[in-house]
Structures are given as structure tokens and as C-alpha cells.
Amino acid sequence: MAEPRSRTPTGHAPNRAPISGFTLVELLVAIGIIGLLLALLLPVIGSVRRAANATKCLANVHQWAQAYQMYLSANRGRSFVLGDMPTRMDAGNNPSMWWEILQPHQPDAVAGLLCPEASEAANVTPKDAFHAWGPERFWDTPAKIRGPYVGSYGFNSWLYQPSSEDNRMPEHLRLPTKQGDKVPVVFDCARLDIPVLDTDPPALYGVAPANGAKPGSMRWAALERHKDGINVAFLDGHADHVSATGLWELKWSEQFTPRKVTIQR
């Protein structure tokens, strides 16, 4: 015969042990610790993300440098003419932009036009270093438009080969050159191509030069997109990070005299 269940003096069964849990104070402390950890980790996560984007961008411009090298090899060292010119359209030629011409050597040309740090279009003119140029449309003929294109990179206009119809281009960079490791080809830029001069005043994109000087073309490349500068692919095929001030120390053309500058912010 089963023994009767023990009871308290009041005749009720004994209470079970209370369920343990967080008190309000403990919960608030835990939330505070989590918030503190997030505050410490977010800058690190952002820095890691920017570093990864800079590495991807460097790979992009390096691929463009390799594509340009292959183009030169296939064309006996001669570069291509400037595309999208009305005079060329009138002559019955089919104009092309630099990335279209290089596309056989860079199949992922459209995606390769975008830096991960500047992939959002900014309605033609970028708002800052972290926006892409575009969308841009180009004319195959006066009646046929192609595009739109969006990009984060620009081409060194001095590398275009002047066409017989185009007498406006100054003397182009002769290829090959002994300073190929100093000659920019494709780089982070707020325009699709630029012809910089050694007289361009030192100024960052979006910042007016000192003493009321005319901005010049270099401002389109003087972006602090990756730390203090941009990624640049060079004529010899390599790619590297260049500070904004270091852009004036490169050899953009035969006529360009490199110099050291100080940028006012």
C-alpha cells in the first residue's frame, strides 16, 4: 500500500523551488555591456569593410591596366582614338568609349567600372568621392543613343591616339615610355576621362582651389576615396594606392612636369 504524500501543517503540498531569472538590474547591465561592445566593434567592422572594398577596387583597376596592355600588344603599341566625337560619326565611324574598346580583354567591363566604395550613381556629376559618375548616354549616330553607363573610374585622356579628323587633342603621350610605372591609365575618378595639366592647382574634389584659381582637371581624380587617396593602374601594368597629393608627382603626359604639392582642406 502506497504511503500517503507528505503534507505541510496546513495540509498543502510543499511549494516547488522558485524559477531563477534575470532581474531588471541584471538585464539592464547586460544590455549596457552589449551596447558597449557594439560601439567598440562597429568602427572596426567599418574599417575592415573599407579595406576589403579598397582591395576589390585595386583589383578592378589592375584588370583595366592588364586589358590596356593586351590592347597595345595587339595593336603594335598604338592606343585608340577618342570616341564619341561628332566628326567621327559624320565620317561613318562607330565611336566607342575606352571601356568598350577594352572589353574584349576585360569581359566583365560593366561591373568592372564600379568601385565598391562608389557604386551609387549621382546623376552625372558625383556628389562626393563616394558616388559614381553617370548615368551617361552616348551617341552611336545622331539618332541612336546607347547606355546609360555608370562608373567610378576614369581614363588618362593623354593616352588617346589622335585621329586624322581630330586636331583639337594636344600632343599625346608617345608609347612605349621609359616611365610606364609613373603613367596613370585607369584610376578612381569623378569623370570618365580627364586630361590633367601640371598647372592644375592642388585641391580636393569639391573644394575650391586657393586664391581663386581655376580648378583644372586634376580635381576629378583628387578624391580621398580610399583613406587619403585613390587606386591607380599604370602603363607598365601594375596598380597601387596613390595619395591625393601624390597625383601631382606622377607622369600624366610627355609635357607634364611632376611636382610636390600641399592640398588645403
pLDDT tens for each residue of 227-238? 899 999 999 999
In this structure, what DSSP letter does residue 61 have?
A: H
CA distance 11 to 7: 5
H/E element holding 135? strand 133-141
Percent of the chain as helix, strand, coil, to the nearest 5: 30, 15, 50
Residue 245's pLDDT is 96
Q: Are 169 and 162 in contact (CB under 8 A)?
A: yes
pLDDT-derived band at 92 (thresholds 50, 70, 90) equals very low
The boundaries of the domain holding residue 91 are 25-249
Mean pLDDT of 39-48: 71
Residue with more model confidence, 104 or 177: 104
Euclidean distance between CA atoms 265 and 248, whole angstroms: 16
Per-residue pLDDT at 103: 87
Give the residue carrying C-alpha cell 595593336: 75
What's residue 107's pLDDT?
78
pLDDT at 89: 43
Any domain includes 19: no
User: Is 258 within a domain?
Assistant: no
Give the confidence band of 86 by pLDDT, cuts at 50, 70, 90: very low
Predicted confidence at residue 101, as pLDDT, reads 87
Count the domains in the chain: 1
Q: Does the residue 99 lie in any domain?
A: yes
Whole-model pTM? 0.77
For residue 12, pLDDT beyond 70: no
Closest-CA residue to 192 (of 257, 136, 142, 243): 136
pLDDT at 91: 46
Q: Read off the pLDDT of each residue in 16-30 and give the average, rounded to a whole number.
A: 69
Q: Residue 10 falls within a domain, yes or no?
A: no
Answer yes or no: is 2 within a domain: no
The reply to whether 12 falls in a domain is: no
Segment among 79-83, 87-91, 103-107 with least mean pLDDT: 87-91
Q: Which three cell numbers stand for residue 27?
A: 538585464
Q: pLDDT tens digits for 251-264?
A: 998 889 999 999 87
